[in-house]
Amino acid sequence: MFYQFYELNHAALAPFRAVADMMRLAYANPLNPLSHTVFGRTLTASLEVFERTTRRYGKPEFGLNETLIEGKPVSVYEKIVWKKPFCNLIHFERSLPAGHGTDPRILIVAPMSGHYATLLRGTVEALLPGADVYITDWIDARMVPMTDGTFDLEDYIDYVIEMLHHLGPDTHVVAVCQPSVPVLAAAAVMEAAGDRLAPSSMTLMGGPIDTRINPTAVNQLAKDKPLEWFADNVVMNVPWPQPGFMRPVYPGFLQLSGFMSMNLDRHMIAHKDFFVHLVKNDGEPAEKHRDFYDEYLAVMDLTAEFYLQTVDQVFIKHALPKGELMHRGQRVDPTAIRNVALLTVEGENDDISGVGQTHAAQTICTNIPDHMRMHYLQPDVGHYGVFNGSRFRREIAPRILAFTREHARTGRPVVKRVIKGGKSA
């Protein structure tokens, strides 16, 4: 009944939240003399912090309406080009200038791990000037009726294959964090079947390919608890009146609680600083706080079958690196990958996927030629910095774009392998 209690608590706080928001608007109004005093700003700040910490954050917008190509702004339009019950495929269509050449087609597979695909807004934004970008927009499981069936790790692999088929030949796939495993598995399945629509390259970023290497606190939890513990303690049924009523899920708010507890002091300090900035009327830092937490606190539910199968196969049994992962009755064989170039990217301070876990893909994909593989370790970034932030835009995104261009199916010239911090070998 924990999910029901969570919903009841949220509903019970709704009138208090509405009153707090109304009072905040009244005291923040510049026509109110108190809005220009420390008392007024303190009261307004307190009301906003209360409202923000008790609200449910909806799915954010990508809001990417423009990008720069050849130094000039061009319009960008979001279009859903493929859809299934648990995922939409979004195309960021650019109004390209006349005479512009063909950019690599990149499919970004966003993590299905509690946050919406908009968490990768910065990833998309950095790649748009040099690529034709698509992204998986996973659907909140509590919004999917039971009549639409189930969704597990094998379905995830099927979805990736179907999207690659929809996009056609010479597509490059970028997997951020959790989807590194199903993306590598999809490539292996397609190569084993001689599928000509297998991706030209795959980029795996901060993913749990082999969590036996340099395990983190997240990995340790899965190691210390049996699968039955997860089924009994974190799987709940979606309450009424949600469309997915009675669907067993891993609730997003539980996932968020786990992530926040890992750095609870940092989040408490961030909210304290937010309060101080509001009182001081320091608008820019306060707005940055809002932007970050509007995204970070927006969470979605995962289907129980997908979550439990991922915990079991990826974090407990390490099925992929052991060569034991199965898909539709067939063993997934990473050694079948011969024609898909491989780029692995890690963050030096990653506390979610430890250093070496993603690089393990280079070890298990033994038949990819040396000139078609590259590894890059970004210094001084954590997990989030692997796919977002200034270092991603400056150091990582250009390498991804260069790698996809080098390994387009029109030709595969030899490139140096980047090992660490821009050093080649």
Cα(187)–Cα(334) distance, integer angstroms:
8
Cα(348)–Cα(340) distance, integer angstroms:
26
Closest of 126, 151, 129, 87 to residue 389, by C-alpha: 126
Q: What are the residues whose beta carbons fall under 8 Å from the beta carbon of 370, sequence distance 6 or more?
A: 417
DSSP state of 57: P
Q: Report the 3 state secondary structure along 220-275.
A: HHHHHCCHHHHHHHCCEECCCCCCCCCCEEECHHHHHHHHHHHCHHHHHHHHHHHH
Fold (topology level) of 66-407:
Rossmann fold (3.40.50)
Give SS3 for 359.
coil
Cα(305)–Cα(282) distance, integer angstroms:
46
Give SS3 for 110.
coil
- Which backbone phi and psi does 326 adopt, to 5 degrees? -115, 145
Residue ranges of the domains in the chain? 1-54, 66-407
Q: What are the residues whose beta carbons fall under 8 Å from the beta carbon of 222, sequence distance 6 or more?
A: 211, 311, 315, 316
* Residue listed under structure tokens 């979004």: 90
pLDDT at 257: 78
pLDDT < 70 positions in the chain = 262, 411-425
Closest of 185, 196, 178 to residue 331, by C-alpha: 185
Give SS3 for 373.
strand
Q: What are the residues whose beta carbons fall under 8 Å from the beta carbon of 112, sequence distance 6 or more?
A: 138, 156, 178, 179, 302, 306
* Contact indicator for 156, 120 with CB cutoff of 8 Å: no
pLDDT at 51: 86
pLDDT at 151: 96
* Residue listed under structure tokens 């034991």: 324
Write the single-letter amino acid at 420: K
* Contact indicator for 111, 176 with CB cutoff of 8 Å: yes
* Residue 296: count of CB within 10 angstroms of its CB: 18
Model confidence, pTM: 0.87
Helix axes 252-262, 264-279, angle to 10 degrees: 90
* Contact indicator for 186, 160 with CB cutoff of 8 Å: yes
DSSP state of 213: S
Instruction: Find the distance separating the first CA and the last CA of the chain, reported in whole Å.
Output: 56
Length of the chain: 425
Both tokens of residue 198? 């297998």
Both tokens of residue 158? 């099927």
pLDDT at 5: 77
Q: What are the residues whose beta carbons fall under 8 Å from the beta carbon of 44, sequence distance 6 or more?
A: 24, 27, 28, 35, 278
Cα(191)–Cα(188) distance, integer angstroms:
5
pLDDT at 159: 97
